[in-house]
Amino acid sequence: MSKTGSGYWRRLLHRLTSDVGQLDADDLSERSQEAGAQRACDCKCGEEVVVLGRVRSVGVSPKASAPTLEAELFDGTDGVTLVWLGRRRITGIEPGRTIKASGRIAVREGRKVLYNPYYELQNTA
């Protein structure tokens, strides 16, 4: 059997035996790399990065503190927290939406963070 054929069977077996969450993560990671974005797991503190992934959750700071909007972005390999200072809401930033974000990565409390990132909302198709 040719190498191409064995690759097909390996991918088919992987798709049949993996859980839905893992398959979704694999698809996100593949889409991210095709778009020219970096894998979140490879991003290091202080680097200028471009990441593409799906928003898992969105949170706002309490009314008493300074306005801050946070979104957890997952690209299939790792999560990156996107933080917009001075904002409580941004139209289009919602769970399930795919976003391409860029900026300088930082680490806060052991998590990767992009402060006030440039972002592009991606088509769902």
- How do the pLDDT tens digits run along the chain, 125 residues long? 445 557 777 766 666 666 666 667 667 767 777 777 888 888 899 999 999 988 999 998 887 788 999 999 988 888 899 999 999 899 999 998 999 999 999 999 999 999 999 999 988 65
Tokens 């949170």 map to which residue?
A: 59
Question: What is the pLDDT, as a whole number, of residue 17?
Answer: 67
Which residues, in sequence order, are CB contacts of 101 under 8 Å at separation 6+?
A: 50, 51, 52, 73, 80, 82, 114, 117, 118, 119, 120
Give me the residues paired with residue 50 across strands: 102
* CB 113 within 8 Å of CB 80: yes
Number of H helices, E strands in the chain: 2, 6
* Alpha carbons 66 and 33: distance in angstroms, whole number: 35
If one counts every other C-beta atom within 10 angstroms of the C-beta of residue 122, the result is 15
* CB 70 within 8 Å of CB 16: no
Q: Longest Cα pair distance anywhere in the chain, in angstroms?
A: 66
